[in-house]
């Protein structure tokens, strides 16, 4: 990777497309090209929140409004004022809440079609089904009606109490729903595979905790190991990277990785007491470490925690790698062939 540029005061990376980077900087939604030139820039009263993104269209919310944005033109195509706070969106449905009620807005019919009370947190919409976490229950409810498809008591599945879903992450492969559940003391925990249609437990898997979905497989990345779960056979392939990481005493942080194509981009700590300041690249085909790069505030000074950037977010494509660090310094690298 070749360093291209860096900029400060970046709140969040919104998208990475070919030679374009979308980011939130203060109250601005900005698109930059690969040489740090602004393609377009929008000013908002407060930072918008992204909800849905596909290729050239981008939906984001601000308070109770949803905006559809054309990335290539830098223009707002439509704006929609709702009577609730949108929390998740797909192509045709917007799900949100207000005053203890769950709302569904049909983008085709252009009307709010559901308005009912609910308890818990909306954690996703998958195949027109809303998933709600309520204490230790996972509830599946049809987005277009009030019908509850199923609810599952996670306490019973782990034989514990106060069980939660780690990071509220749900991954779907076929008709299988994957999540990592744990209790407050981390005495009981597991990756659970449920039938997405019935909620029935298919398999309890001793693997976790932060789950990634990539190329129809489930991964965990942590310490000096990568685990890959086959969703059909539930076979776990574990790759030990310790021999490749030991020279720099690197420890991979499991919650700050990014998969793209046949590569894994990860954040690592150069030692037990260090912060995650190292960006690493791994080939997923042969599991060879391709490159590591430590992000230092002043490269001429010793690599101490005070002189390290802490990696918070990674995004990559076949041309660029964008890394946002604590304090909002964005580092952009060019992928070298």
Q: Residue 101: its pLDDT value, please?
A: 87
**Residues 6+ positions from 91 with CB-CB distance below 8 Å:** 52, 54, 107
Q: Give the pairing of strands 250-260 and 263-270.
A: antiparallel
In whole angstroms, give the CA distance from residue 228 to residue 220: 7
Q: Residue 167: its pLDDT value, please?
A: 92
**CA dist 319 to 4, 241, 288, 316, 332, Å?**
11, 26, 20, 8, 11
Q: Residue 55: its pLDDT value, please?
A: 58
Q: Residue 306: its pLDDT value, please?
A: 97
The number of residues in the chain equals 337
Question: Running along the chain, 337 residues long, what does each successive block of 10 average in pLDDT?
Answer: 93 89 90 92 80 69 86 85 88 85 88 80 86 92 84 95 94 96 95 96 94 97 95 97 93 95 97 96 96 97 97 96 97 91
Residue 331 near residue 325 (C-beta atoms within 8 A): yes
In whole angstroms, give the CA distance from residue 95 to residue 127: 13
Closest CA to 220 of 203, 207, 234: 207
Q: Residue 160: its pLDDT value, please?
A: 93
Q: Residue 247: its pLDDT value, please?
A: 85
What's the predicted TM-score (pTM) here? 0.92
Residue 120 near residue 102 (C-beta atoms within 8 A): no
End-to-end CA distance of the chain: 9
Q: Residue 126: its pLDDT value, please?
A: 86
Closest CA to 252 of 273, 284, 276, 236: 276
DSSP-derived letter for residue 223 is B
**Residues 6+ positions from 299 with CB-CB distance below 8 Å:** none
Which of 235-266 are b and which e, b meaning 16 or more Cβ less than 10 Å from the residue's Cβ? eeeeeebeebbeeeebbbbbebbbbbeebbbb
Q: Residue 186: its pLDDT value, please?
A: 94
In whole angstroms, give the CA distance from residue 209 to residue 324: 23
pLDDT digit string, tens, across residues 290-329: 999 999 999 999 999 999 999 999 999 999 999 999 999 9
Q: Residue 107: its pLDDT value, please?
A: 85
In whole angstroms, give the CA distance from residue 192 to residue 200: 10
């Amino acid at each position: 990777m070749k360093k291209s540029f860096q900029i400060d005061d970046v709140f969040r990376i919104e998208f990475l497309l070919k030679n374009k980077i979308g980011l939130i900087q203060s109250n601005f939604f900005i698109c930059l090209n690969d040489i740090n030139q602004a393609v377009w820039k929008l000013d908002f009263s407060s930072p918008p929140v992204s909800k849905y993104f596909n290729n050239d269209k981008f939906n984001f919310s601000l308070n109770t409004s949803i905006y559809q944005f054309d990335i290539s033109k830098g223009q707002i195509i439509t704006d929609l004022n709702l009577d609730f706070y949108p929390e998740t969106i797909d192509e045709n449905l917007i799900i949100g809440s207000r005053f203890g009620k769950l709302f569904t807005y049909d983008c085709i019919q252009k009307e709010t079609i559901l308005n009912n009370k609910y308890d818990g947190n909306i954690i996703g919409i998958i195949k027109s089904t809303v998933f709600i976490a309520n204490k230790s229950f996972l509830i599946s409810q049809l987005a277009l009606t009030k019908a509850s498809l199923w609810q599952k008591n996670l306490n019973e599945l782990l034989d514990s109490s106060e069980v939660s879903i780690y990071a509220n992450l749900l991954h779907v492969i076929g008709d299988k729903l994957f999540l990592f559940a744990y209790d407050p003391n981390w005495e009981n925990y597991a990756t659970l595979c449920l039938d997405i249609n019935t909620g029935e437990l298919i398999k309890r898997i001793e693997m976790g905790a932060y789950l990634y979905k990539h190329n129809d497989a489930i991964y965990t990345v942590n310490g000096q190991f990568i685990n890959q779960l086959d969703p059909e056979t539930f076979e776990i392939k574990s790759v030990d990277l310790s021999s490749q990481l030991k020279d720099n005493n690197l420890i991979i942080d499991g919650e700050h990785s990014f998969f793209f194509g046949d590569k894994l981009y990860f954040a690592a700590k150069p030692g037990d007491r260090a912060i995650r300041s190292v960006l690493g690249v791994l080939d997923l085909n042969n599991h060879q470490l391709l490159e590591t790069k430590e992000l230092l505030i002043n490269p001429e000074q010793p690599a101490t925690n005070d002189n390290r950037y802490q990696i918070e977010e990674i995004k990559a494509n076949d041309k660029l790698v964008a890394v946002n660090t604590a304090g909002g310094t964005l580092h952009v690298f060019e992928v070298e062939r």
